[in-house]
Structures are given as C-alpha cells and as structure tokens.
Amino acid sequence: MKVVIQRVSKASVTIDEVKVASISKGLLILLGIINEDTLEDIKWLTNKIVNLRVFNDENDIMNNSLLDVSGDAVVVSQFTLHASTKKGNRPSYIKAAKPDVAVPLYESFVKQLEVDLGKKIQTGQFGADMKVELLNDGPVTIIIDSKNKV
C-alpha cells in the first residue's frame, strides 16, 4: 500500500461538477493499493499517518501530528501510484489491484483512519474521474510505502 500525503491548507474533490469532499487544515491522502496489501498494511499505515509530525508547532518546527492539530483528512484512491515506467513511455499499471480487491481495502483504510483519527474522513469516489484541488501548505509532500517499513 502506497500513499502520497500532502499537508494542505485546504483541499476538495469534485466529481461531475459536484463537490463531494472538502477540508481545511489537514492532509490530502492519495492511496494506491496492490494485490498483496492486507489489513496489517492498513493498520500500520493509518497509525503512521495520524502520528506523522508534519505540522508546525509554536516555534515553527514540524513537530505536531494530525491528531495534535485536530486536522482533517481526505482520501482519494489513485491506482497510478503503482505505475511502472521501466519500459517505453506508456506507464504500466499491472501492479495496481483490480477493484474486487482494491475497493474493500480502500473502504477498510478509510474506516481504520476514522478510528485512528477519531473523526469522519472525507473521500473521493473509487474509480471515478475526480478533480482534486489543493493548496499545499509548505509545500509538504511525503510518500510512504507499507512494504518499506524497515
């Protein structure tokens, strides 16, 4: 399971000209899933995300977590995170899980993140053509792969 996390001042997701998610201070989380991902990956990753110290403290040092700042989160499925660009110029997405595997894991990820953060998580819609807008704060962008824990 791979995520790209962006610290944002605001972020939103629009589908067919309808805004389906909108947050202010928090994290935009782009989530990519492969067939080998498990509930263990979800639990490790959501715990890492909510405790990641990427928000500034009173001394302007990144020392606070999403929990510390009572921030929000929006999760967007993104199979393209597992693109392979080794051959040619057209990315291959063969490593990305198909919907029958990815959707239940995506939903479990969102539910676990809600438990870990203690609040409702906004989302895009799995498989939809989404327009994602954000104001990256910092900018701070971090990539985490649950298969690279060590």
| 80 catalytically annotated | yes
- The helix or strand, by DSSP H or E, that contains position 76, with its residue range, turns out to be strand 72-77
Tell me which long-range contacts 55-62 makes (C-beta under 8 A, separation of at least 24).
Answer: 55/7, 62/140
| 55 catalytically annotated | no
What's the distance, Cα to Cα, between the start and end of the chain in Å?
14
Q: Which of 46, 78, 122, 123 is catalytic?
A: 78
- Closest by Cα among 84, 126, 131 to 104: 126
| 141 catalytically annotated | no
Q: Which of 6, 46, 79, 109 is catalytic?
A: 79
* Cα–Cα distance for residue pair 24/16, rounded to 1 Å: 22
The catalytic site residues sit at: 78-80
